[in-house]
Structure 1
Amino acid sequence: MTLKTLGAAALIAASTTVAHADDWTAYTYSSVSTTSAVKGMTRIAERVAADSDLEIDLHLGKTLQIASADITQAVGDGIIDMAADFFFSGSVPLARVLNLPMLIENDDEWAKAYAAMEPTLVDAFAQQGVVLLGGYRYPEQTIFTTFKINSLADLDGHKIRVTSPEQGHFIEEFGGAAITLSGSEVPTSLERGVIEGVLTASAGGAKNWHEFLPYNYRFSVNYGNSMIIANADSFNALSEDTKATLRAIVAEEGPKTTAAFLEDEEVQKKAQSEAGMTLVSAAEGDASDASAKLAPFWESWAKENGPEYEAALATVRAAIGK
């Protein structure tokens, strides 16, 4: 357990020292209440309270002393009962197979890949003391920059913020330097030239950082997703009816959150364009070039991590026909 999660434990212990079936503490990585992510989690909490004896107290990102990378661990350790976690890959790295660059390229492929991987993901989260209830997906991660960009070749020599080692490999394949920063560090890093671009969605990070990013290259690198999870002991302490109610509500609200993000993506693209951002369509040949460069990486990534990863990659590729 990290010092930050220990701090969170001490904070929450002031109000509760054991999991209560009727009173849960939930957390989301997002610190902005108006995002589709937070609105979705808020609806879950409100609906569960109305339809069962379970009360869920939702805390926004940064309001508890839990680092983004520690959220799944904090749930597994019982520091919090429930969470939406975008940064789960450190705790459940097998799940990163869904985020490999150029592997999943459209909504249909995502749906097929996730359905095929879901049983494996349920087991992987269970090993962390966590129940995987569902989740939601962001729109495609595209490239936002401070410099003019017309093709992937223009990444050469530039510093780009990424959110995973796999995204970093993509940037490096095209001559860029991958840099990992927390979301709160992005604006000042763009201002100071520490980074010159980010991989994100128009309805994701670009919604807050667009004023620093005059160019958006509409090339889909990969998809990012969040998992909605619960502490296994807390979940098992619920009545069977409440368990079923919680699962059913998450199963409805997860896809609704995804749909809201996709709708907001179009709204934000339009607003960002009208505010002066230059949106550039993907250059002919970039997709095939990127796929050719990244396909060997999928294989090496899986092989380096072991048979379980190779099996997961094979499952996804069979599901989407690649």
Structure 2
Amino acid sequence: MKITMLGAIAAVAASVTVAHATDWTGYTYSAVSTTSAVKGMNRIVERVENETSGELKIELHLGKTLQIASSDITQAVGDGIVDFAADFFFSGSVPIARVLNLPMLIENDDEWAKASEALEPILDKAFADQGVVLLGGYRYPEQTIFTTFEMKNLADLKGHKIRVTSPEQGRFVEEFGGAPITLSGSEVPTALERGVIEGVLTASAGGAKNWHEFLPFNYRFPVNYGNSMIIANSDSFAALSEKDQEILRKIVAEEGPETTIAFTADEAVEMKSQAAAGMTLVDAADGDMAAAREKLAPFWEAWAKENGPEYEEALKTVRTAIGK
């Protein structure tokens, strides 16, 4: 009788545990499991299950394994198709966030930290308007110029077709006479082979990690930073207990910066590896930084004015934070 009673209690306890467990679907734009981005997301997933004692489990799907276009990830999270994601291509859904990616605006780690912190309330609201909770994020190393042709200065971009990931990067290329082209990451290798594009803006630890064999030259000019947002569906997040919400926020707040650090370390390793494999790395020419700032500064203001008062306020917030 006693054994039967204990068994019944155990069964009830087990059913309660199952009833309270929450299973989320996670997604990341990156299709390569060895990248710092995916490793960071996997750490989040593992820690969440462990630190919530299994109350929240996230099954992470890599890029291209679900029928979600890279440009639609934030929308997919807002629509509840997935509960949790890392989105590098958020600019279509939350374009005001692109202020952080304006070429030549943010030029070092210190400026990035100040700008991100100052802009956080604006971004929280912008993502909330999409039905999404912004939990945090991580940043890639500075985006430099990888090409199939030799570059000694920015003037060498003239007449060449360069793959970009945002209209703002496209403006940079145009300012120096190049032709910007937007392609998904999966299209890049074939486009390089066929001459559809002649270069890309990316990081050594980013796209160049996969495409380096097609790109014999790297002009180490820091155009801008690229970053990913770590987000959750608003309703899914609200359904969590306050305790689990706090745990998830804490883990993302810790692992996002760790992913950034990992990318920075990986950048140095990849640069060395790519150079050893035959890639020619060229430092930015004297005068190119000053020339680029002069060309792009008016664009920051034009970009904000064209998009409206909220964008002008966001740009002002960033410029005030970094003193520029």
Q: Same fold (TM over 0.5)?
A: yes
Looking at structure 1, the residues matched to 193 and 65 of structure 2 have their Cα atoms a distance apart, in angstroms, of 26
Looking at structure 2, the residues matched to 218 and 81 of structure 1 have their Cα atoms a distance apart, in angstroms, of 38
Looking at structure 1, the residues matched to 129 and 150 of structure 2 have their Cα atoms a distance apart, in angstroms, of 45
Kindly provide the amino acid, as one letter, of the partner of residue 269 in structure 2: V
Structure 2 residue aligned with 1:197: 199
Q: Which runs of 4+ in 1 moved over 3 A?
A: none
1:11-50 correspondence runs (5 A): 22-50=22-50
**SS in structure 2 opposite 1:245?**
helix
1:19-98 correspondence runs (5 A): 22-52=22-52, 53-98=55-100
CA deviations 1:225-284 (Å, max 9, x no partner) are: 000000000000000110010000000000000000000000000000000000000000
CA deviations 1:3-44 (Å, max 9, x no partner) are: xxxxxxxxxxxxxxxxx9610000000000000000000000
Looking at structure 2, the residues matched to 25 and 188 of structure 1 have their Cα atoms a distance apart, in angstroms, of 31
Structure 2 residue aligned with 1:152: 154
Looking at structure 2, the residues matched to 60 and 115 of structure 1 have their Cα atoms a distance apart, in angstroms, of 29
The normalised TM-score by structure 2 is 0.93
Match of 2:132 among 109, 130, 133: 130
How far the C-alpha of 1:176 sits from its partner, in A, is 0.3
**SS in structure 1 opposite 2:59?**
strand
CA deviations 1:122-141 (Å, max 9, x no partner) are: 01000000000000000000
Looking at structure 1, the residues matched to 190 and 25 of structure 2 have their Cα atoms a distance apart, in angstroms, of 32
Q: Unaligned regions of 5+ residues in structure 2, if any?
A: 1-19
8 Å CA contact retained: 1:21, 1:238: no
Match of 1:207 among 200, 206, 209: 209
Kindly provide the amino acid, as one letter, of the partner of residue 202 in structure 1: S
How far the C-alpha of 1:45 sits from its partner, in A, is 0.4
Structure 1 residue aligned with 2:17: none
Structure 2 residue aligned with 1:114: 116
Kindly provide the amino acid, as one letter, of the partner of residue 60 in structure 2: L
Looking at structure 2, the residues matched to 234 and 284 of structure 1 have their Cα atoms a distance apart, in angstroms, of 51
Kindly provide the amino acid, as one letter, of the partner of residue 68 in structure 1: S
Structure 2 residue aligned with 1:278: 280
Kindly provide the amino acid, as one letter, of the partner of residue 35 in structure 1: T
Looking at structure 1, the residues matched to 107 and 254 of structure 2 have their Cα atoms a distance apart, in angstroms, of 24
CA deviations 1:263-312 (Å, max 9, x no partner) are: 00000000000000000000000000000000000000000000000000
**Coordinate RMSD, CA, aligned:** 0.7
Looking at structure 2, the residues matched to 195 and 269 of structure 1 have their Cα atoms a distance apart, in angstroms, of 22
Looking at structure 1, the residues matched to 267 and 149 of structure 2 have their Cα atoms a distance apart, in angstroms, of 22
Looking at structure 2, the residues matched to 41 and 226 of structure 1 have their Cα atoms a distance apart, in angstroms, of 11
**SS in structure 2 opposite 1:194?**
coil
CA deviations 1:195-218 (Å, max 9, x no partner) are: 000000000000000000000000
Q: How many pairs were matched up?
A: 303
8 Å CA contact retained: 1:137, 1:223: yes
> Identity of paired residues, percent?
79
1:146-295 correspondence runs (5 A): 146-295=148-297
CA deviations 1:31-73 (Å, max 9, x no partner) are: 0000000000000000000011100000000000000000000
Looking at structure 1, the residues matched to 255 and 173 of structure 2 have their Cα atoms a distance apart, in angstroms, of 33
